[in-house]
Chains A and B, each alone.
Chain A
């Protein structure tokens, strides 16, 4: 079955460490997205990529970085510069004007 796989489901890191969240899709979608979800704030766009080797900042890109070396993969790195990294992270993909298809998310806790 086609879908988006985010791993791991739960991730724990110490403050000051960079951490990379994985997002893989086998839907052959060109566009991929990273959203952050905090309680009471809905989802906010971190980065998105419409094609391989190209990506754009979203509304809250500071402290994050991404790469898009392969069509099926769009990893997100949460750097030590991100002041409040504990959150739920959702990856999504789409093609054309189709609705976004979401992964199951990664809960990141930084202590």
Chain B
């Protein structure tokens, strides 16, 4: 069974600074997807970034980037130029490919990020 671990229950960062959220996972599979989702106080789940395990290049989306270390089973999220709107719970998640495995997501427990002005 796959597991996802987020070891930082809470973090804070000053506005405009950079913060990195940690995530490790455990799987014996070779092909999979990794995700970071953001859940603001509205509780809407918003996809931040997705990484395909077979791609060595780290995914980036504007101010969000990941450091994917497949051998170490590590998938950290870096947020640059933090903004007040980044305040949210961040979840790391894992799913197997291809889609016939059900696209089931396994989530970590989450990290609460607070951006301070």
Contacts and interface: CB of A to CB of B under 8 A. Distances in A.
Given A41-B109, A42-B91, A43-B91, A56 B44 contact: no
- Interface class of chain B by DSSP: loop
A42 B103 contact: no
Given A42-B107, A97-B97, A99-B50, A50 B44 contact: no
B102 A40 contact: no
B45 A90 contact: yes
B105 A45 contact: yes
B103 A97 contact: yes
Contacts of B103: 31, 33, 94, 97, 100
Contacts of A64: none
B72 interface: no
Contacts of A33: 103-105
B109 A42 contact: yes
A92 B105 CA distance: 10
A43 B107 contact: yes
Interface in A84-102: 88, 90, 92, 94, 96-97, 99-100, 102
A5 interface: no
A42 B108 contact: yes
B99 interface: yes
Nearest to A40: B109
B98 interface: yes
Q: Which of B47, B103, B106, B108 has the most CB of A within 10 A?
A: B103
Which 10 residue pairs of A and B lie closest in terms of their CB atoms, listed nearest first?
A102-B45, A42-B107, A43-B107, A42-B109, A99-B47, A97-B99, A94-B103, A105-B43, A96-B99, A42-B110
